Amino acid sequence: MPTLSLPDAQARSQQLRQTLEQHNHYYYVLDAPSISDAAYDQLMLELIALESEFPILCSSESPTQRVGAKPLDAFESVTHSVPMLSLGNAFDEASVLAFDKRVHDTLVQSGLIQPTLAQPADALDTPDSSRSTHQVTYFCELKLDGLAISLRYEKGLLVQAATRGDGQTGEDVTANIRTIRAIPLRLKQPAPDVIEVRGEVFMNRGDFDRLNQAQQQRGEKVFVNPRNAAAGSLRQLDSRITAQRPLRFFAYGWGALSIEPKATHADMLQFMSSLGVPINAKQNQCVQGAAALLSYYQHVAVIRAQLAYDIDGVVYKVNALNAQRVLGFVARAPRFAIAHKFPAEEATTKLLGIDVQVGRTGAITPVARLEPVFVGGVTVTNATLHNEDEILRKDVRLGDTVIVRRAGDVIPEVVGPVLSLRPLHTSVFQMVTSCPVCGSAVERLPDEAISRCTGGLYCPAQRKQSLLHAVSRKALDMEGLGEKLIEQLVDRNRVHSIAELFTLTVDELATYDRMGLKSAQNAIEAINQARKPPLGRLIYALGIRHVGEATARDLALHFGSLDKLLLAQEEQLLVVNDVGPVVAGSILRFFAEVHNRDIIHDLATQGVEAQTPVPLIAGSLMGQTFVITGTLEIMTREQATEAILLAGGKVSGSVSRKTNYVVAGAEAGSKLTKAQSLGVKVINEATLRDLVKS
């Protein structure tokens, strides 16, 4: 029986939508989260439940619909009702002064400026020419380094989104734009019958760095800079991929508009902000005269490095819209606006050598050693070359004179060589075949751009992260061995592998920073309790690439012991549930490495004895796949997993169309959302217990 009547559910769902969109605005636009992630997820879950119980309530404007849709075959073309024009550029003060003079002279001739009058602060903020002054009032804003987008709203509802394209025709990217939480799916009321919001989709540098780290860990292509990442994300034919990208949006203008516009550009942006459209209010300013324009430019140049996003200049627009109409357009650009670009953050220097760095997952990254060069306010001696393919694509060779750029004003990168200065007999870069840190073999899988060290647990460059993974709750669960202690153990060269954690003593740990006697005792107690872990947890703790918690558990159930798994051949691995050629190959390569086999032997020497898992039995859940998310009331997630396995079922870590049930506890998150979108049956803990008992 429904807990609410349809009218009550309708009212509650509308309230939830408004609340969630408000929190989206605080989080993605203002960078000022108003509630915790858990509280946000709880509101989202309530809305999902209401829409599931009353399907009539589900609409395209709901926050639950931002997960993306099935892939498109191609983008449709969109003809802009109002052209999306580009801007003229200024690269020096003389160009800005000339722009201001042209604007000033034209407005004097039109009668909008009376040079002999005083200069009230609100000059040209209204179309009343009697209040105009000698100096023109300009609206100043940052020139974001992203992708220009037009958003068409009808009756307040987002109906279409298009790229700039050639200014006349763009691409329909509505499905992708709908996944960006900073962009409202419905405007606040009262909204015009039609308004086309023009603005920039971009990516914060911090989000970009995290995205690239994730790309590297998956062995996928990394992006060169945030702009390319934003553009590439928006041009995905599969909007579900776009939904996973941390895109943001600021409006800076408008196209078609069914109502009379406000008097000034600043007023129009405030009007759009009142509708729920994000604008860059913190950095936008109104100033008077050319001197103030240059002052704004200099101010932004100073704070540029502190901004969360990339910019490549500032934009000046005449503020009064009646003055804009008088000034008009020339060719493909307006006469009333200009972009004042920052100097290119590039320089040339000598490429002295190419070293390689080993990342946390074993990724081998080539790094250019440069003759010191001053770029973008800092002296650069090293710059990233991304990967082997990028070096070959750019044709960068040892001994070249290269162009160096500070990508995003932070990470120096080599743009390419100056071929006219290339000396004779330059050498082409060759990727190393063994790890420079531990000597293990370096491999590159056929479908990956990244070469990796196969040293795994043995490699010092990967050791800290490997140890943190091993002691985590889902692995050996050594509570008390946190990041700070692991760092000290590795930095002091005390622990080289998981096995050596079991050689630590209370007296020894008590001498480490922030480790008193009680903390040391707790840590050693957790280590001792981990000497008899379930086999699945031990396999997971080894950190074998592509082997997650669920796969480790399946391997444990199938082979029953670590010795049998270590000796398994590919054909034996492939019969394990969800183990394909990629996973099987990763397992074989891991156990083929002598260092990894030595660590497994050392674990046994230290008394680590994995507990044989209970074999699967034919039960009521045979052949059924479950995903557990959130906090259960009575059972722990580990207990629920064991109960499902004993009844013959399988527990997976991710939701797919093959999932039979999602068990949702309190504060369930994205897995529940995905289950709803795929139509997977969602049950609670009580229902799970009934299924297990039956």
pLDDT digits (tens, 9 = 90+) for 17-53: 788 877 776 665 565 667 766 677 678 778 878 877 7
Is residue 76 one of the residues assigned to a domain? no
Predicted pLDDT at 618: 53
Shared domain check, 294 and 178: yes
| Whether residue 161 is found in the same domain as residue 208 | yes
Answer yes or no: do 386 and 239 share one domain.
no
pLDDT class of 156 with cuts at 50, 70, 90:
very high
Q: Which residue has the higher pLDDT, 158 or 218?
A: 158
> Domain of 608: which CATH number?
1.10.150.20
Cα–Cα distance list, 119 to 97, 114, 280, 476, 645 (Å): 19, 10, 27, 73, 80
Q: Are residues 604 and 493 in the same domain?
A: yes
Q: How many CA atoms lie within 13 A of 671 on its CB side?
A: 23
Q: Say yes or no: 419 and 542 in one domain.
A: no
Question: Which tokens is 173 given?
Answer: 């990217």
Q: Evaluate whether residue 88 is within a structural domain.
A: no
396 and 294 co-located in one domain: no
- Assign 490 to helix, strand or coil: helix
The least confident of 115-124, 273-282, 327-336, 388-397 is: 115-124
Please state the rounded mean pLDDT for residues 197-211: 91
Q: 3-state class of 172 per DSSP?
A: strand
Q: Are residues 465 and 588 in the same domain?
A: yes
Can you name the residues that pair with 348 across neighbouring β-strands?
403
pLDDT at 121 over 60: no
Last residue of some domain: 323, 341, 359?
A: 341
Identify the CATH number of the domain in which residue 667 sits: 3.40.50.10190
Q: If you write DSSP's letter for every residue of 72-98 in order, what string do you get?
A: PSSPPEEE-SS-----EEE-SHHHHHH
Flag whether 365 is in a domain.
Answer: yes
Q: Is residue 127 over pLDDT 50?
A: no
* Spatial distance between the Cα atoms of 245 and 497, rounded to a whole number of angstroms: 35
Residues 338-364 have a mean pLDDT of 85
pLDDT for residue 103 is more than 80: yes
Question: Is 122 part of any domain?
Answer: no
Q: Which residues pair with 197 in a beta bridge?
A: 151, 254
Residue 519 CB contacts under 8 Å (≥ 6 apart), including other chains: 480, 509, 510
Q: What SS3 string covers 314-354?
A: EEEEECEHHHHHHHCEECCEECCEEEEECCCCEEEEEEEEE
Q: Domain tally for the chain?
A: 5
In a domain, 77, yes or no: no
pLDDT of residue 409: 45
Closest CA to 584 of 570, 565, 564, 563: 570
Structural domain that includes position 250 = 142-341
pLDDT of res. 386: 84
Contacts of 260 (CB under 8 A, 6+ apart): none
Q: Pick 374 or 688 by higher pLDDT.
A: 688
Last residue of a domain, one of 613, 641, 663: 613
Residue 130 resides in a domain: no
Highest mean pLDDT among 308-317, 550-559, 613-622, 628-637: 308-317
User: What is d(CA 292, CA 141) in angstroms, rounded to the nearest whole number?
Assistant: 13
If you average pLDDT over each of 127-141, 289-303, 317-331, 486-500, which comes out highest? 289-303
Whether residue 147 is found in the same domain as residue 208: yes
How far does Cα 611 stand from its chain's mean position? 39
Say which residues have a Cβ less than 8 Å from residue 263's Cβ, sequence separation at least 6: 125, 126, 127, 320, 321, 322
From the list 631, 680, 634, the residue with the least C-alpha distance to 654 is 680
Pairing, β 157-163 against β 147-154:
antiparallel
Is residue 129 predicted with pLDDT exceeding 50? no
Residue by residue, DSSP assigns 276-306 as T--B-TTT-EEEEHHHHHHHHHHHHHHHGGG
- 556 and 651 assigned to the same domain: no
Q: Is 596 exposed, middle or buried (0-12, 13-18, 19+ CB in 10 A)?
A: buried
One domain for residues 595 and 504? yes
Q: Which amino acid is at 499?
A: A
Above 60 in pLDDT, residue 123?
no
pLDDT of residue 113 exceeding 50 = yes
- Look up the CATH number of the domain holding residue 337: 3.30.470.30
User: Looking at residue 234, what is its pLDDT?
Assistant: 86
395 and 486 inside one domain: no
CA distance 612 to 509: 31
Six token digits for residue 244: 């996973």
Residue 109 lies in a domain: no
Handedness of CA 548, 554, 556, 559 (dihedral sign): negative
- Out of 288, 316, 341, a domain closes at 341
Q: What is the pLDDT of residue 242?
A: 86
Give the pLDDT confidence score for residue 98 in this predicted structure. Answer: 92
**pLDDT for residue 535:** 93
Sequence-ordered list of residues with C-beta below 8 angstroms from that of 156, at least 6 positions apart, any chain: 186, 187, 188, 189, 191, 275
Q: What is the mean pLDDT of residues 607-625?
A: 76
AA identity, residue 33: P
What's 58's domain CATH number? Answer: 1.10.287.610
Do 586 and 648 lie in a common domain?
no
Decide: 592 and 616 in contact? Cβ < 8 Å. Answer: no
Most confident of 136-140, 178-182, 460-464, 634-638: 136-140
Pick the residue with more confidence: 457 or 453?
453
* Residues that are catalytic: 143
pLDDT in tens, 63-96: 776 655 555 566 888 888 888 888 888 878 999 9
For residue 448, being part of any structural domain is answered with no
pLDDT at 297: 95
Query: Which of 57, 46, 55, 54 lies closest to 16, judged by CA?
Result: 46
Per-residue model confidence (pLDDT) at position 376: 61
- Among 28-32, 221-225, 498-502, 629-633, the range scoring the smallest mean pLDDT is 28-32
Sign of the Cα torsion 84, 86, 87, 88 reads negative
